[in-house]
Amino acid sequence: MDIRVQEDSFDLGAEANAFAARQKGMGAVVTFTGIVRDLGEGDLQAMQIEHYPGMTEKAISKIAEEALSRWNIGDILVIHRHGVLKAEDLIMMVATSSRHRVDAFQAAEFLMDYLKSRAPFWKKEVTPEGADWVEAKDEDEDALSRW
Amino acid sequence: MDVLYFAWVRERIGHPKDKIETNAGTVRELVEELRSREERYEAAFADLDALRVAVDQELTDFDASLDGAREVAFFPPMTGG
């Protein structure tokens, strides 16, 4: 299990390759990457991501432990950034490995659903009109009930 | 006890952290104490449904006990991922 909370960007290809190369006896690697989406017409000047140092790492580890206990998973990688990002910057990635693909796919979805509403990050969008905190969506909370 | 604020809770209160002495037995009692401090605390804690709380870095609810707690944090619903 490799959990990283960092300000710096990361190299998606290098991380995915290194993760895949570490796996022994695994037939599947699934990766998901979150990217800062522009609001259209280049309106997004910045996305600020605040987090709760100390709790963030613990909360993500707990979610990853839960995934390991539910699915037949070889390994999990989570990288999540904080600080000031711009449109098209990478925000985060998860990678999972398993012997057969279903476990890796499901565990990656589970991780994403829980990271969205149970890991202490808060996003703020800065546009020419001002800065606004991104509101949590009901559907993000609802997504947890399927697990 | 350290009381931490994040995102718009921090902005409404105006700083990220208070160090306080309290006899509050639960999170809810602590919130009542904070609300009676000043207008900006009242504004930040006006709607508890819009807030989440962690005690010693574990997500919990407003009825949680503060027995032995060292750190309490208040924040809006999280928007990670």
* pLDDT for the residue A41: 75
Residue of A52, A66, A91 for testing the chain B interface, max B β-carbons within 10 Å: A52
What top-level class would CATH report for the domain B2-75? Answer: alpha beta
**Cβ contacts of B9 within 8 Å, gap of 6 or more:** B44, B51, B74, B75, B76
Over residues A59-110, the pLDDT tens digits come to 999 999 999 999 999 999 999 999 999 999 999 999 999 999 999 999 999 9
Question: Structural domain boundaries of chain B?
Answer: 2-75
Inform me whether the C-beta atom of residue B8 falls under 8 Å from chain A C-beta atoms: yes
- Percent of chain B scored above 90 by pLDDT? 100
* pLDDT for the residue A76: 98
Reply yes or no on whether the pLDDT at B54 is more than 80.
yes
- The answer to whether the pTM exceeds 0.90 is yes
Reply yes or no on whether the pLDDT at A40 is more than 90.
no
Given an 8 Å threshold on Cβ–Cβ distance, is A34 in contact with B81?
A: yes
Q: At what angle do helices A55-70 and A101-118 cross, to 10 degrees?
A: 150
Closest partner residue to B73 (CB to CB) among A52, A124, A133 is: A52
Reply yes or no on whether the pLDDT at A131 is more than 90.
yes
* pLDDT for the residue A25: 95
Q: Centre a 10 Å sphere on the Cβ of residue A128 and count the other Cβ atoms it contains.
A: 8
* pLDDT for the residue A62: 97
